[in-house]
Amino acid sequence: MAKFSRSGKKDMPELSTSSLPDIVFMILFFFMVTTQLRETEPLVSVRVPEASEIAKLERKDLASYINIGSPVRSKQAEFGTDARLQLNDSFKNVDDIRDFVAAERENLSEADRSFMTVVIRADRDVRMGIVTDVKQELRRCSALKIMYSATAPVQHEF
Amino acid sequence: MANKKKTPGINASSMADIAFLLLIFWLTTTTMNSDKGLQRRLPPMPEEGAQQEDVKINRRNIIQVKINSNDRIIAGGEIMDVSMVKDKIKEFITNPANLETLPEKEMKQIEGFGEYPVSKGVVSLQNDRGTSYNAYLQVQNELAKAFNEVRDDFARQNFGTVYNNLDEDKQKIVREAIPLSISEAEPKDVGRSARR
């Protein structure tokens, strides 16, 4: 009995939390390295459509983005609400795609150029007219690998 | 010696809290914009001046899927809902009963597998300039789903598992046996061409 009571009295050694900050910092750094900050300010609002058969883009570094949608609210006074094209960080026309694709190609290494993927991030309410124009222009620039950006459908529970 | 006692170690227990705050700040402000979507390959632009050759395709080998400016869908001559497109396309690709009206099949030698009757069917997708992007992508999605399901069936029959679980070589066999033959027609402006 005495034996037990003595051992019960003995304080539990406190759990050392001194390494907790290190662990958390490690997670923090992991996130800082893996996430990329959006380098361009969105000028058009894009709500991509939902699709179930989507596949992940394997090489993110080979992707260049074409955003299509109506201008964000703060730009609507200037540019209206009609669907516009955004390349990098300015509104552009379909004719500018040629230069854009050429510049993006230039950024890639020789070996990767043929794998360049153009990601079309178009709003779900956009009409196909502008998308078709973009596609035709891409064909003309022979940037043939494209991806229609989409999100996984939200699972509705019944 | 008395001095030494007066400098206690800095209490670092709040360090974890600070780090957590930073972490949570980072988590909420960054967006994990993982790029997902439907990958497609555009057909190359025909050379300018080159004679536009009409490739003769047997009528039974082609199914037209059209979406008009009101997002209404017509596939193979029937007006239908998006949800019905998949089954229509699946029936079209597989042609299980070898009907006269559905695509013919051609025996093809597939490397590493053997002979397989590959369907000659082509899905032709046409849209109007007024079609909404959402409707277009829904149809694209249904087409992809139809092809994926047929591929999965094929993979399950021959390799015992779904397409995604196969290794690269076997996936290639499946891709060759069931090619993703979606053709997008040259854009047409229905409204304008009517006036011409």
Test B138 with A27 for CB contact under 8 angstroms. Answer: no
Alpha-carbon dihedral angle through residues B171, B176, B180, B182, given to the nearest 10 degrees: 160
Interface test with A, best of B40, B134, B140 (most A CBs within 10 A): B134
For helices B82-94 and B133-159, the axis angle rounded to 10 degrees is 40
Compute the count of residue pairs across chains A and B with CB atoms less than 8 Å apart.
Answer: 147
Option in B30, B36, B133 nearest A151 (CB): B36
Residue A77 confidence (pLDDT):
83
Option in B12, B38, B43 nearest A148 (CB): B38
Nearest CA in chain B to A35: B32
Contact criterion met (CB below 8 Å) for B115 and A126: no
Option in B39, B128, B137 nearest A49 (CB): B137
* A132–B contact, CB cutoff 8 A: yes
- The residue among B42, B51, B47, B69 whose CA lies nearest residue A137 is B42
Option in B22, B136, B137 nearest A28 (CB): B22
* B127–A contact, CB cutoff 8 A: yes
Test B38 with A55 for CB contact under 8 angstroms. Answer: yes
Domain ranges of chain A: 44-148
The one-letter amino acid code at B31 reads T
Q: Hey, what are A98's tokens? A: 């040629």
Residue B3 located in a structural domain = no
DSSP letter at B26? Answer: H
Alpha helices in B40-112 (DSSP H): 82-94
Residue A43 CB-half CA count within 13 A = 20
Residue B105 located in a structural domain = yes
* B185–A contact, CB cutoff 8 A: no
Residues 6 or more apart from B194 whose CB is under 8 A from it? Answer: none
Model pTM score: 0.75
Residue B82 located in a structural domain = yes
Contact criterion met (CB below 8 Å) for B145 and B86: yes
Mean pLDDT by 10 residues, chain B (196 residues): 66 79 81 76 74 68 87 87 89 83 82 83 87 90 91 89 86 87 71 39
Residue B8 located in a structural domain = no
Option in B16, B22, B31 nearest A20 (CB): B16
Q: How far is A148 from chain B (nearest CA, A)?
A: 5
Q: Which residues of chain A have pLDDT under 50?
A: none
Residue A30 CB-half CA count within 13 A = 7
Which residues of A fall within a CB distance of 8 Å from B137?
49, 51, 124, 148, 150
Which residues of A fall within a CB distance of 8 Å from B33?
38
Test A128 with B39 for CB contact under 8 angstroms. Answer: no
Q: Over the range B153-169, which residues count as b (16 or more CB within 10 Å of their CB) and which as e?
A: ebbeebbeeebeebeee
Integer Cα distance of A87 and A134 in angstroms? 12
* B23–A contact, CB cutoff 8 A: yes
Residue B195 confidence (pLDDT):
34
Nearest CA in chain A to B23: A28
Contact criterion met (CB below 8 Å) for B109 and B56: no
Residue B114 confidence (pLDDT):
82
Which residues of A fall within a CB distance of 8 Å from B145?
52-53
Residue B44 located in a structural domain = no
Q: Hey, what are A21's tokens? A: 């900050």
Q: How far is A1 from chain B (nearest CA, A)?
A: 38
Domain tally, chain B: 1
The one-letter amino acid code at B146 reads A
Nearest CA in chain B to A52: B141
Instruction: Supply the range of the domain harboring residue B85.
Output: 59-187
Quick check: helix, strand or coil at residue A30? helix
Which residues of A fall within a CB distance of 8 Å from B40?
146-148
Test A124 with B144 for CB contact under 8 angstroms. Answer: no
Q: Over the range A113-131, which residues count as b (16 or more CB within 10 Å of their CB) and which as e?
A: eeebbbbbbbbbebbbbbb
Residue B78 located in a structural domain = yes
Quick check: helix, strand or coil at residue A38? coil
CATH match for A44-148 among 3.40.50.1370, 3.30.2310.20, 3.30.390.10, 3.30.420.270: 3.30.420.270
Residue B36 confidence (pLDDT):
85
Residue B132 located in a structural domain = yes
